[in-house]
Amino acid sequence: MKTFKFYNELEDYLFEYLTEQTGKSYLHLIKRFLRQFPGADNFSLKEIEAYFYDLKTKGNKVNYRKVILAALKVYYDFLLYRKMIPFHPCKSFYITEKRPSGINFGGLLSMEEMELLFTLKENRYKNLLNRDKVIIGLLIYQGVTSGELANIRVQDIKDGTVFIRGNRNRLSRTIELKSSQMEPMLNYMNEERENLMKVQTDRLILTMRGVPITVDSIHAFINGMAGAFEREMSPANIRKSVISYWINERGFKLEDVQIMAGHKYPSSTQKYVRANTDEQRDVMTKLHESIFL
């Protein structure tokens, strides 16, 4: 049976990067899970997979199962932090469902909606106020993935730009920062980050405990603001929305967006073009001409 002190520590850990409402929701789901499985601290991946398979067979919707998984991932992160377990049993476990191919433009966010994230995230820790703005800004203005965001180094911010490292799926690129991003970025880098840092690291984004932020933490941070939107709120959907905004609202050339998004192939960028407008057909024609002529 978990003690009151244990749950207080867990609640503080949850509130590190979640809103109060989401933190309480996660705590409720974790407590319910532990009541059902008192020995869950020692669960293996196989046992967790069996639990989620049981949820699916009972008819629980995929979005609900994903919320439970997000809560459990944070719980096992907490156990690792307290050195109560030797490894994270479900860190690489994700719930995937078959979805229609192509871009669901109806599920994307407008830039106005994405900018609302700045007002929805209120952090009670003073050293995280500008950090949170830095995270949101890099997601909605530069369209980075959660993995890319976690890997940005301090030295990657230079002369009003951010360098984003590539990997086997995406190319490296350098993207200009918006002027509105510069003040919170500099305040965070020059003051708050130094106050946060507990271990020597060049990673840009740190947690309240002074260690580099993880991909799961970024997902939990964004999922914590999902209640204000009827559409999917995740780093992946924000990135899709940003790329669509660049092409369909700002009218950027496809070859420029390909570079900004780090896409290796024109086809990866092309799928973001909304069909049935003369301007977009012209863009598509020019793209095909550049590829095949």
Could you report the per-residue pLDDT of 30-74, keeping only the tens digit for each? 999 999 999 999 999 999 999 999 998 888 888 889 899 999 999
Which amino acid makes up residue 55? Answer: L
Domains and CATH numbers, the chain: 4-81 (1.10.150), 105-238 (1.10.443.10)
Could you report the per-residue pLDDT of 88-132, keeping only the tens digit for each? 999 989 887 765 557 888 889 999 999 988 887 666 677 788 999
Higher pLDDT, 197 or 19: 197
d(CA 70, CA 66): 6
d(CA 217, CA 144): 15
Region 150-170 average pLDDT: 95
pLDDT tier at 1, thresholds 50, 70, 90: low
Instruction: Please state, rounded to an integer, the average pLDDT across all residues of the chain.
Output: 87
Q: Which residues neighbour 28 within 8 Å (Cβ) at sequence distance 6 or greater?
A: none
Ranking 55-59, 85-89, 174-178, 282-286 by mean pLDDT, the lowest is 282-286
d(CA 181, CA 134): 7
Question: pTM, whole model, 2 decimals?
Answer: 0.66
List own/partner pairs for 75-82 with CB under 8 A and 24 or more apart.
75/10, 75/26, 75/30, 75/33, 77/13, 77/214, 77/216, 77/217, 78/9, 78/10, 78/13, 78/14, 79/41, 81/13, 81/209, 82/9
Chain centroid to CA 153: how far? 17
